[in-house]
Structure 1
Amino acid sequence: MHLFFSKKGNRTNNILLSIVFFARFGQILNSITITAGDERFLPILFQSLTPLYFTVPACFYLYISGFLTDRKRISKVQWLHFLPALLAVIHVIPWPGVPPLDWPLISDQLAQNGYLTLKARNGLFPGYFHSFGRTILALTYLALCWKAIYKSGIIKSDARVNPGKDWVLFILGVATMFQIIGISPIIYLALNIPLNHTYFVIFNCVALLLALSYALHKPKLFYGYLLVATTWDGKSYLVKADEVPEIEVLKEEIEPDQPAAVVKKRSYLSTAKLSSYSQLMIQMMEEEQMYLKPDLQIIDLATKINIPVHHCSYVLNTKIGKNFRDWINAYRVEYFLKQYPVKGSRMTIEAIAQESGFKSPATFYNAFKKEKGLLPSSYFNK
C-alpha cells in the first residue's frame, strides 16, 4: 500500500513492485483458506487472483528494466507483456455452457503441493494452463531480468557510484531464490521424495535465513526503493537535525549584472550520492550539450536527471567547486574554442559565441576572461 500510493520516487516502478507484493499476499491468503479447510471463499479468491498471478512476471521484469533505465512510464509496445494476464482473465470468466468446476477436487490438489500439481480444470482452458503456464512464464521473465542486468553492466559497476546496485541485485536474487524454491517440488515429486523431507525443509530455512540476515545487515537497502517515502543518507542518522550544515542554494542570474538571490536550505548527501549525482550531471552536460541553450537554468538540468534542484546546487558547490552559471559557461567557452578555428574565417567572435550558448557578448567576454584569464583577442594573439 505504501508503494502503490506513494508520490515519491519513480511512480511507475513503485506501482509495478506493489503489484508483485499484492500477488504474493494473495498466494498467502489462498494458502490460509485451503489450510483452514474453508472452501466457501476459495472460488472467489482463486479466480479473482489468477489474472494477478499472470501479471506478476511481466511487472517484475518491467520493474527491473525500468529501474536500470530510470523509465518513467510504460510504452505502448511494453503493454504487450500483459497479454498472458488478458488470457488469464478470459480463463476465469464463467462462460455460458462451460461445465461447473469441481472446487473440492481443486482444493485437494492445491493442498497437496500447491499450483504446480494442479491438474483439475479450473477455468475455460485445461488445468495445465494454470500450473504449467505460470511456471514457464515466471522462468522466462526471470531469465529476461538477469539478461537485462547483465547487459546494463551494473554488476561490474562500483556500488559507491551506483547506489542502486545493491538493491536491484538483492531483490532479483531473492526473487530467483524463491522461484527456485517454488519449482523444486517438481524435482522432489519426480524423485518420489516427500516435500516434508528433512533436506528440503533445511534448504528452505537456510535460504530464507540468508536473505533475512543480509537484509538485517544492510537495512539501508530498502530506503528510497522499497520504503520510498524516505532515503538513507549513510551517516546522517548520527547527525542531529540542528547539526546539519546550512547549504547555500543559489538562484543563478541570467545576466551578469543581475544579483543572485540566495536561499537557505538544509541539505545533506552521502559520498556515494555526491559521486553518482555529479557523474549524472557531467554526463548529461557533455552528451546532451545542454549548455548550448542560452536560457538554460539549473532547474532544467535537475528536471532532466530527476533530482532536486538543491541537490544539484549542493553537488556543484561541494563536488565540482563552481556555481551553476560558471560551470555551464566553462563548457560554452570550451565549445567556442573548438568552433573558432573552423568558423572564425567566415563568422565574427560574437556570432560563434552566440552559437556556443552565450546570450550576450558581455556575458561571453566576462566568462572567457574568467576561464582563460584573458580576453579572446589577447588569448589568440598569445
Structure 2
Amino acid sequence: MQSLNLLISTSCLFLLLFSMHLFFSKKGNKLLNIFLSVIFFARFGQILTSLFFKSGQPNTLAFCHQIFTPFYYAAPACFYLYITGFLQDRKNLQKIEWLHFLPALLAIIHVIPWHFSTSLNWDLIGSQLAENGYFSLKERSGLFPPYFHYLFRPVLVMAYLCTTWMVVLRLKNKPIQLLEAESRTWIIFFLRIATFFQLFTLAPIILRNLHIPYVNASFVVVNCLVLFVILLYALHRPYIFYGYLLVAVDWTKKPTVLKTETDAILIPLIAEDPKPNRTAVKKINLIDAQLSDYALAMKEIMEEEQLYLLHDFQIIDLSAKLNIPIHHCSFVINKHIGKNFRDWINSYRVNHFLKQYPLKSDKITIEAIASEAGFKSVATFYNAFKKETGLMPTAYFAQELSH
C-alpha cells in the first residue's frame, strides 16, 4: 500500500510541476501552454483524488473532488484546442471557441454548494469512487443528477477525441499544415498518448458492462507507470522535453544572430567595409562543380519536399537540412541562381499558386490559395506575384483568358 501511495504521489508531483511551469512560462505559445497546463492539472487532480477514495477522510475527498471537477470537464476541450491550435499556429481564441468551455462552466455550477441543494453523502461517494472509479458514480455529487458524471463526461471525452482525430486526418494532406520534423513528431506523440489515456480511462465502463471483474487500484498503477515511461521517452527526446513539456527552449525560432532571411541584408553590410569583404571572399572558396552541386541540391529539396509551403521557412532552415554552411547557401543563391533568398523562395510560391488557382478559385479566395502556397501575408503575395509576372493577379488571369 505504501508503494502504491509513493507511486501515485510521485506521479502527482511531476504532473503538478509540468502544469505549473507551463502555465507561468514566458516562452513558446502562451495559449497552447495554458491548454497543455490544464490537461496536466486535470490528470494531476484525478490521480490525487484517487488517493482519498479509501482514506476515510470525506472532507478531504469532497474538497479535492469539487475543486478538480471543472478541470475534468475543461480538459477534453483543451485537448482539442491544443491540437488544432498547434497545427494552425494560433495564439488567440476566437469568440465562438469559448463555447467549448460550457461543460466546464456547468461543472462549476454543479460543484457550488447551493443553499437549496440537498446535502451530499461523501462517505457513500467515496466508497463508490473507490469501487468503480469516476464514471460509475451513482450518488449525487453536486447540483446535477448522477448521470452528469457517469454519462455526460464519457460522451464528452469520446466526442472530443473523435473530433480531434477527424481534424488531424482531414488536414493531413494539406500543404499549409506541413510542420517541421520535430513539431510533427511531438504532435503525433502527444495525440497518441492522449488517446491512450482517454480510452484507458473509459476501460472500467467497458469492463463493468461486460461483467468482467477488475480492481480499480490497478488502473491507477498502470496510469502512473505509463506516465513514467512517457517521461523517460521524453527525456531522450530533448526537443520534446525542453521544447514542449518544459518550454525551456523555443525550438520554433532560431538564434537572433543567425536569423537571416536573405543575403540582400548581409551583402550591403559586408560591402561597407572592404576588409571584411576580402575576408568573406576568401572563406567562400567554391569551385564551379561545388556551386552546381549545391544549386542542384537546393533545387531538388525545394521541389521534392515543397519547403516553400512553410510560412516561416528561412535560409538557416535550408542550411540545416542540406548540411551546408549558411554563408555558402547565401552565396550560391545570390551568385549562381541569381536571386536573393526571399525572391527565390517566393518564385516557388508564385508557381505553386499559379498551378493551384485554376483548381481552387471557385472554392476559396485568392488570399487563401496564396496562404496555402506559403505566403505569410497578402501584401507579400501581391508584391511577389507582380515581381514574378509583371502583373497583379486579376490582370494576369484576365490576360490569360483573353489568349
TM-score (structure 1 length as normaliser) = 0.63
Assess if the C-alpha contact under 8 Å between 1:19 and 1:59 holds in 2.
yes
* Structure 2 match to 1:283: 309
1:221 aligns with 2:240: yes
The 1-side partners of 2:230 and 2:183 are apart by 18
CA distances 1:61-103 after superposition (whole Å, capped 9, x unpaired): 0001111111111111111111111111111122232111111
1:162 aligns with 2:188: no
The 1-side partners of 2:96 and 2:132 are apart by 36
**1:231: how far off?**
5.8
Q: Which secondary structure state, in structure 2, belongs to the residue aligned with residue 35 of structure 1?
A: coil
The 1-side partners of 2:166 and 2:48 are apart by 32
* Structure 2 match to 1:344: none
Q: What are the within-5 Å matches in structure 2 for residues 160-239 of structure 1?
A: 161-196=180-215, 211=230, 214-215=233-234, 218=237, 220-230=239-249
1:147 aligns with 2:166: yes
1:47 aligns with 2:73: no
Q: Which secondary structure state, in structure 2, belongs to the residue aligned with residue 100 of structure 1?
A: coil
Q: Residues 156 and 70 (structure 1 numbering): CA distance in 2 closer, same or farther, change over 3 Å?
A: closer
CA distances 1:236-281 after superposition (whole Å, capped 9, x unpaired): xxxxxxxx9x969599778x98876899xxxxxxxxxxx89xx897
Q: What are the within-5 Å matches in structure 2 for residues 241-256 of structure 1?
A: none
- Rg larger for: 1
Structure 2 counterpart of 1:71, one-letter code: R
Assess if the C-alpha contact under 8 Å between 1:30 and 1:46 holds in 2.
yes
* Structure 2 match to 1:268: none
Q: Once structures 1 and 2 are overlaid, which stretch shifts more, 157-166 or 173-182? A: 157-166
The 2-side partners of 1:101 and 1:229 are apart by 44
The 2-side partners of 1:38 and 1:222 are apart by 37
Structure 1 counterpart of 2:122, one-letter code: W
* Structure 2 match to 1:327: 341
CA distances 1:180-227 after superposition (whole Å, capped 9, x unpaired): 221111222223322139998998799678756754664543331212
1:37 aligns with 2:56: yes
Gaps of 5+ in 2: 1-19, 277-300, 321-325, 351-380, 388-403
Q: Residues 96 and 252 (structure 1 numbering): CA distance in 2 closer, same or farther, change over 3 Å?
A: same
Q: Residues 331 and 144 (structure 1 numbering): CA distance in 2 closer, same or farther, change over 3 Å?
A: closer
* Structure 2 match to 1:90: 109
* Structure 2 match to 1:21: 40
Q: Residues 70 and 333 (structure 1 numbering): CA distance in 2 closer, same or farther, change over 3 Å?
A: closer
Assess if the C-alpha contact under 8 Å between 2:138 and 2:147 holds in 1.
yes
Assess if the C-alpha contact under 8 Å between 2:138 and 2:150 holds in 1.
yes
**1:167: how far off?**
1.2
Q: Once structures 1 and 2 are overlaid, which stretch shifts more, 150-159 or 33-42? A: 150-159
Q: Which secondary structure state, in structure 1, belongs to the residue aligned with residue 53 of structure 2?
A: helix
Greater percentage in helix: 2
The 1-side partners of 2:170 and 2:71 are apart by 28
* Structure 2 match to 1:101: 120
The 2-side partners of 1:63 and 1:158 are apart by 15
Assess if the C-alpha contact under 8 Å between 2:35 and 2:78 holds in 1.
yes
The 2-side partners of 1:223 and 1:261 are apart by 40
Q: What are the within-5 Å matches in structure 2 for residues 127-142 of structure 1?
A: 127-142=146-161
The 1-side partners of 2:49 and 2:220 are apart by 21
Structure 2 counterpart of 1:45, one-letter code: C
The 2-side partners of 1:217 and 1:98 are apart by 51
The 2-side partners of 1:196 and 1:57 are apart by 26
**1:333: how far off?**
9.2
Q: What are the within-5 Å matches in structure 2 for residues 276-355 of structure 1?
A: 282-283=308-309, 305=312, 311=316, 317=327, 319=329, 321-322=332-333, 326-329=340-343
Q: Residues 230 and 190 (structure 1 numbering): CA distance in 2 closer, same or farther, change over 3 Å?
A: same
1:69 aligns with 2:99: no
The 1-side partners of 2:343 and 2:216 are apart by 70
Q: Which secondary structure state, in structure 2, belongs to the residue aligned with residue 40 of structure 1?
A: helix
Q: How many pairs align? A: 296
The 1-side partners of 2:86 and 2:215 are apart by 38
**1:131: how far off?**
2.1
Q: Residues 214 and 119 (structure 1 numbering): CA distance in 2 closer, same or farther, change over 3 Å?
A: same
Q: Residues 319 and 54 (structure 1 numbering): CA distance in 2 closer, same or farther, change over 3 Å?
A: farther
**1:40: how far off?**
2.0
TM-score (structure 2 length as normaliser) = 0.60
Gaps of 5+ in 1: 234-243, 264-274, 285-303, 336-354, 359-363, 365-382
Q: Residues 230 and 30 (structure 1 numbering): CA distance in 2 closer, same or farther, change over 3 Å?
A: same
Q: Residues 249 and 177 (structure 1 numbering): CA distance in 2 closer, same or farther, change over 3 Å?
A: closer
Assess if the C-alpha contact under 8 Å between 2:135 and 2:150 holds in 1.
yes
The 2-side partners of 1:3 and 1:174 are apart by 18
User: What root-mean-square deviation, in Å, do the aligned CA atoms of Structure 1 and Structure 2 show?
Assistant: 4.6
1:115 aligns with 2:138: no
